[in-house]
Amino acid sequence: MSERPPKPPRQECWDRRMELPLAVASLAYLAGYAVRVLARDHLPRLGVDLCVGVVLGAWAVFVTDYVVRLRLSGLHPLRFVRTHLLDTVVLLLPLLRPVRMVALYDRVQRRRGQPRLGLYARVMVYSGLSVSLLGFTAALTVYHHEADAPGATILTFGDSVWWACATLATVGYGDVTPVTPIGRTVAVGLMACGLALLGAVTGSFSSWLIQAFTREDEKPGNGERPPGDFPGAS
Amino acid sequence: MSERPPKPPRQECWDRRMELPLAVASLAYLAGYAVRVLARDHLPRLGVDLCVGVVLGAWAVFVTDYVVRLRLSGLHPLRFVRTHLLDTVVLLLPLLRPVRMVALYDRVQRRRGQPRLGLYARVMVYSGLSVSLLGFTAALTVYHHEADAPGATILTFGDSVWWACATLATVGYGDVTPVTPIGRTVAVGLMACGLALLGAVTGSFSSWLIQAFTREDEKPGNGERPPGDFPGAS
Amino acid sequence: MSERPPKPPRQECWDRRMELPLAVASLAYLAGYAVRVLARDHLPRLGVDLCVGVVLGAWAVFVTDYVVRLRLSGLHPLRFVRTHLLDTVVLLLPLLRPVRMVALYDRVQRRRGQPRLGLYARVMVYSGLSVSLLGFTAALTVYHHEADAPGATILTFGDSVWWACATLATVGYGDVTPVTPIGRTVAVGLMACGLALLGAVTGSFSSWLIQAFTREDEKPGNGERPPGDFPGAS
Amino acid sequence: MSERPPKPPRQECWDRRMELPLAVASLAYLAGYAVRVLARDHLPRLGVDLCVGVVLGAWAVFVTDYVVRLRLSGLHPLRFVRTHLLDTVVLLLPLLRPVRMVALYDRVQRRRGQPRLGLYARVMVYSGLSVSLLGFTAALTVYHHEADAPGATILTFGDSVWWACATLATVGYGDVTPVTPIGRTVAVGLMACGLALLGAVTGSFSSWLIQAFTREDEKPGNGERPPGDFPGAS
C-alpha cells in the first residue's frame, strides 16, 4: 500500500508478463508438494517422480524470474538481495510464494477498475487468505517431517492441521506438538503468524470501534447518555 | 449497524411477523438438543422422540422462512444464497441461530424507543451474550460427539464447558481436548470466536483509552505533567 | 472515572467515614483467609479459630455497611441490589473486596490534591495492582480447594501461583490445572481477568502509538520519510 | 522518547564516555554466561574459570558505573535508587543489560544525524530486538537451572528455546515447562514480555489501520462505498 518509486519500463513489462506464469508455478509447487506428502504411501514410483519434477520445475521458474529481475534492475547483486529481502526469502522457501498471490489478486482487481472492498473487508480477506495458506503450508511441512520421527505426537495430517489451528489462534493445547528441529522451527514461524493475525483482528476491531464512536459523537441529538463511559469504571 | 437499502414492503412485513416464531423456534431447537444430549442416559424412549420432534419442527420453521424470503426477494436462488451467506450457514447449522437473537434484542429495543446503551456497553453486552451462547452450544456439540469416542478426555459436560472456556480465553490448557474430527472442527470455530472476543475486549479498551486521553488533553488546567509519556520509555 | 449524580449528604458522610474501617476489614479478611489456607497444617487449634473469627468479623463489617447504605439510599431493596450490582457481588465474595481498594487509593490521592499520575501510568498501576491482588486471591482459593482433591495436580501453593500466572498471561501451559468444580469456576474468572489485562496492555500501547504518531505528524521538518507506511506492506 | 530535564554537564560527559565500555561489558557478560551454560560439559577447568572471570569483571564495570553516576548526581542514595529503579534492577540482574543496548543504538544513530526509521519500523525493530535478546537470555537461564533438576522436562538448550518461543507468543503448549522455582520465576517474567510483545504488535497494527482509514477517508473521489462498515455487522 506504500508508493514505491516508478520502475523502469522494461522491468514493469517483465513483471506484468510473468504474473500468470509465476502464479501457475506457485500453485504447481504447492500442489506437487502436497500430493508428494499426503499420498506418500499410496503413490506409485512414477507419481513420486512426477511430483518431484513439478516441484523442481516450479522452482526453476522462480530462479529464472529472480535472475532476470536482478539483471533488469541494473543493481549490484548484493544490493539487489538487500533491497529485495522478501523476494530472496521466498526464493529459498518457495512454499511461502502462494501467499504472495494474495497481493497479486489485489493488483489484478485494481487494474481492471473493479470497485475495491472497504478497508476492513480487505484486511479481513487478506489476513484470512494469508493465514489459511500459511496454516496449510505449515501443516504440510510439519506432517512431512514429524510423521516418522521417534516420539512424535503428530501422526496424521489431521493432527497436523489441528495443531496448526491451535497455534494460529495462540491457544496451544499441547496435546500434539512437533518434536523435530525442523518442525519446531516451522512452528515458531507459525506462532509469529498467529501473533500477526491477532494483531490484525484486534486492530480492525479497535479502529472500527474508534470510528463508530467518533461518528456517534458527531450525531446531533445524542443526548441521553454520553457513550464514552466505560461500563463499570466508577 | 450499517445502513442497508430499504427492503420491499412485503418482505419487511414478513420479517417482522416472523420475528417471534423464529425466536421461539431457535430456543426450542437449542433446548431440544440440550435435553437430548445432557439427559441421554436418563431419558425414556418417549422423551428422546419428543426432543427429536422439537428439533426437526424448529428446523422446518427455519427452512420455511428461508424459502419464503427467497421467493419474496425475487432474486435468482443462487444470487440469494450468495447475498445471504450468513442466513444460509445458519440454515445448515441451526445451533448458531440463537446467536442471531442478540441482534433481534437490539432491534426490538430500538423500535420501542428505549434509550440505547452507550457504545461500549453495547459492545460488551453483545459480545458477552454471543460468546456465552456460542460457548454453550460448542460445549454441547463437543460433549455429544466426544463422550463415547475412544481415547476421549472430555468425558462429562463439565469437562466440555471447562474446555470451551479455556479455548475462548485462548488459554488452552490442553488437559482435556477433543479427539474426534467433528469435535476438532467445532473447536476451530470456537478458537475463531475466541480471537474475535479478544479483539472486542482489546479494541473496546483501546478506543476507550484513546478517547479518555483526548478528553484529558482538552482540559484547560492540565499542566502538571504531560499524560502522553509512556512509563518506562526513556 | 465517570461522573455519577451527587449523593445525598448523609450517604456521602457515611461513605467517607467507612473508608478506613472497610479498608482495614478487607485486609483483615484477606490476611485471615491467607493464614488459614497457607498454614493449615502448622496452625494450632487456637490459630484456626482466630483466623475464622477475623474472617467472620470482617464479613460482618461488610454486611453492616451494605445494610446502612441500603437504608440511607432510601431505595427499594430490590432496586438497590440492581443498581449496586458490583457491591452485591463483592458482599457475597468478599475476597474480591481488596481489589476495590485500588479505586480507594485513587480517591484519597485526589482529595489530598496530590498531582495525579499520567493516564498511561494510572492504567498500568491500576491494572498491575488489581491483577496482582486477583491472581493472589485466585491462587489462594484454588490451592484451598484443590490441594486435597483426588487426581489434583496443584499440590503446593507455589504450583497454584505458577498456574495463576500462566492463566493471567493467557499462556496456559496445562502442566498443572484445577480439577474440582470450584477450582475451575475460579479459573474461568481468572481467565476473564487475563483477557481484560491483555486488553489493558494492548490498548495502552495502541493508544500511545497513535498519539506518538499524531505528534510526529505535526512536527514541521519531518520530511525524510512518511512515518505511516507499515514496514513490509508493498 | 520522553524529554527528561537536562543533566549536569559532568554527568552527561560520563554517560557519553561510558557508552562503549558498558556495551562491551554487557556483551562480554552475556557471552561469558552463555559459554559457561552451553558448553558446561565440554569446557576444561580453565575455560570455566575464564568465563566466571569475564562475568565478574563485567559486573564490576556495572557497579563502578552505578556508583560514579550516584556520586555525580549529588542525590541521596535512597532517592537515587528510587528515581533510577530500572538501573538498579539491571545492576542486580545484569543479564537484562544487553536489552538496554537497543536504546543505545537509537541514541547513537540520532547523534550521527542519520535519517531515523519510520515510527512503525522503529517499534517493530526495537520490540523484535528486545524480545529476541530477552528470549535468548531467559532460555539460557532456564536451561541453566532446569537441566539437572529432578522431574525436569527441559533437558536440552533446544527445548529451552522452544519453550521460550511458545511462551513469548502466549501459545504455551506445555509439552516442556520449568519445574524449579527459579525457572518458573524467569518464566513469569517472560510471560510479561510476551504480553508486552502482543501489545506492541496489536497496537502497531491497530494504529496503522486507524491512520490508513483516516487517509482513505480524506481522499476526494472515494464514493463507491463507505469503508467504515464492519463486514458482517448488519
D210 and A211: CB-CB below 8 Å?
yes
Q: What is the pLDDT of residue D216?
A: 64
Q: What is the pLDDT of residue D232?
A: 39
- The answer, for A172 touching chain C at a CB cutoff of 8 Å, is yes
Q: pLDDT tens digits, residue range D27-60?
A: 899 999 999 888 877 878 888 889 999 999 998 9
Query: Is the pLDDT reported for residue C178 higher than 90?
Result: yes
**D19 to A207, D13, D149: CA distances (angstroms):** 41, 10, 39
Which chains neighbour B (Cβ–Cβ under 8 Å, 3 or more pairs)?
A, C, D
- The answer, for C120 touching chain D at a CB cutoff of 8 Å, is no
pLDDT band at C74 (very low <50, low <70, confident <90, very high): confident
Q: pLDDT tens digits, residue range A47-92?
A: 888 999 999 999 899 899 888 988 888 888 888 888 888 788 878 8
Q: What is the pLDDT of residue B163?
A: 95
Q: Which residues of A130-145 are buried (b: 16+ CB within 10 A; e: fewer)?
A: bbebbbbbbbbbbbbb
Query: Is the pLDDT reported for residue C92 higher than 50?
Result: yes
Minimum distance, in Å, between the CA of residue D167 and any CA atom of chain A = 10
Contact in structure between C179 and D179 (CB atoms under 8 Å)? no
Of B190, B113, D135, C158, which is closest to residue A224 (Cα–Cα)?
Answer: B113
Least confident of A194-203, C30-39, D114-123, D218-227: D218-227
Q: Given phi > 0 = left and psi -120 to 50 = alpha, else beta, which region is B232?
A: left
Query: Is the pLDDT reported for residue A178 higher than 50?
Result: yes
- The answer, for C227 touching chain A at a CB cutoff of 8 Å, is no
pLDDT band at B232 (very low <50, low <70, confident <90, very high): very low
| CA distance linking residue B25 with residue B84, whole number of Å | 20
Contacts of D209 (CB under 8 A, 6+ apart): A119, A123, A203, A204, A206, A207
Query: Is the pLDDT reported for residue C65 higher than 60?
Result: yes
Alpha-helical (H) ranges within chain D are 9-38, 45-73, 77-83, 85-92, 97-111, 119-146, 157-168, 181-218
Nearest to D234 among B2, B174, B206 (CB): B2
**B178 to C90, C169, D60: CA distances (angstroms):** 36, 23, 55
CB contacts, 8 Å: B171 with chain D: 172
**Mean per-residue pLDDT of chain C:** 80
**B225 to B209, C120, D2, D3, D54: CA distances (angstroms):** 18, 12, 11, 12, 43
Residue A35 corresponds to which cell in the numbers above? 500430493
Q: What is the pLDDT of residue C217?
A: 61
Q: Which H, E and C letters describe B107-130, residue by residue?
A: HHHHHCCCCCCCHHHHHHHHHHHH
- The answer, for C192 touching chain B at a CB cutoff of 8 Å, is yes
Residue D195 corresponds to which cell in the numbers above? 504480553
Query: Is the pLDDT reported for residue B112 higher than 70?
Result: no
Output phi, psi for B112, to 5 deg.
-75, -5
B2 and D206: CB-CB below 8 Å?
no
pLDDT band at A216 (very low <50, low <70, confident <90, very high): low
| CA distance linking residue B194 with residue A189, whole number of Å | 21
- The answer, for C13 touching chain D at a CB cutoff of 8 Å, is no
Helix (H) or strand (E) holding D91: helix D85-92
Average pLDDT over residues C66-89: 84
Minimum distance, in Å, between the CA of residue C137 and any CA atom of chain B = 19
- To the nearest whole percent, how much of chain C has pLDDT over 70? 80
Query: Is the pLDDT reported for residue A192 higher than 80?
Result: yes
The C-alpha cell 467517607 sits at C16
Report which of residues A220 and D144 the model is more confident about.
D144
- B96 half-sphere exposure, CB direction, 13 A CA radius: 12
Query: Is the pLDDT reported for residue D2 higher than 50?
Result: no
Minimum distance, in Å, between the CA of residue D145 and any CA atom of chain A = 22
CB contacts, 8 Å: D206 with chain C: 202, 206, 209-210
Q: What is the pLDDT of residue A229?
A: 42
Contact in structure between B144 and B159 (CB atoms under 8 Å)? no
| CA distance linking residue B61 with residue B73, whole number of Å | 18
Q: What is the pLDDT of residue C15?
A: 81
Other beta carbons within 10 Å of D26 = 24
Q: pLDDT tens digits, residue range B170-198?
A: 998 989 999 999 999 999 999 998 888 88
| CA distance linking residue B79 with residue D95, whole number of Å | 63
ipTM value > 0.90: no
pLDDT band at C216 (very low <50, low <70, confident <90, very high): low
Burial of C127 (0-12, 13-18, 19+ CB in 10 A): buried
Q: Longest C-alpha distance within chain D, in Å?
A: 76
Q: Which residues of A110-127 are buried (b: 16+ CB within 10 A; e: fewer)?
A: eeeeeebbbbbbbbbebb
Contact in structure between D141 and D117 (CB atoms under 8 Å)? no
Chain Cα centroid distance, residue B118: 21
Query: Is the pLDDT reported for residue B227 higher than 60?
Result: no
Nearest to B209 among C191, C204, C215 (CB): C204
Query: Is the pLDDT reported for residue D136 higher than 90?
Result: yes
Residue C23 corresponds to which cell in the numbers above? 479498608
CB contacts, 8 Å: D167 with chain C: 171
pLDDT band at D228 (very low <50, low <70, confident <90, very high): very low
| CA distance linking residue D223 with residue A115, whole number of Å | 10
Contacts of C41 (CB under 8 A, 6+ apart): none
Q: What is the pLDDT of residue C187?
A: 94
Burial of D122 (0-12, 13-18, 19+ CB in 10 A): middle
Q: pLDDT tens digits, residue range A11-54?
A: 888 888 888 888 888 889 999 999 988 887 787 888 888 999 99
Q: What is the CA radius of gyration of chain B?
A: 22
Query: Is the pLDDT reported for residue A227 higher than 50?
Result: no
Report helix, strand and coil shares of chain D as percent, to nearest 5: 75, 0, 25
- The answer, for A174 touching chain B at a CB cutoff of 8 Å, is yes
- The answer, for D231 touching chain A at a CB cutoff of 8 Å, is yes
The C-alpha cell 504411501 sits at A41
Query: Is the pLDDT reported for residue C133 higher than 80?
Result: yes
Average pLDDT over residues A124-138: 87
Of A197, B1, C210, which is closest to residue D226 (Cα–Cα)?
Answer: B1
Report which of residues B214 and B223 the model is more confident about.
B214
CB contacts, 8 Å: C229 with chain A: 1-2
Alpha-helical (H) ranges within C74-96 are 77-83, 85-92
| CA distance linking residue A51 with residue A29, whole number of Å | 9
Q: What is the pLDDT of residue C3?
A: 43
Contact in structure between C171 and D172 (CB atoms under 8 Å)? yes
| CA distance linking residue D166 with residue B139, whole number of Å | 27
- The answer, for D165 touching chain A at a CB cutoff of 8 Å, is yes
CB contacts, 8 Å: B2 with chain D: 229-230, 233-234
CB contacts, 8 Å: D188 with chain C: 162, 165
Q: pLDDT tens digits, residue range B34-45?
A: 998 888 778 788
Least confident of B84-88, B194-198, C93-97, D215-219: D215-219
CB contacts, 8 Å: D184 with chain C: 158, 162
Q: Which residues of B54-73 are buried (b: 16+ CB within 10 A; e: fewer)?
A: bbeebbebbeebbeebbebb
- The answer, for A207 touching chain D at a CB cutoff of 8 Å, is yes
Contact in structure between C171 and B171 (CB atoms under 8 Å)? yes
Q: pLDDT tens digits, residue range D152-204?
A: 999 999 999 999 999 999 998 999 999 999 999 999 999 998 888 888 888 78
- The answer, for A172 touching chain B at a CB cutoff of 8 Å, is yes
Q: What is the pLDDT of residue C183?
A: 93
CB contacts, 8 Å: D119 with chain C: 209, 212-213, 216, 227
- The answer, for C85 touching chain A at a CB cutoff of 8 Å, is no
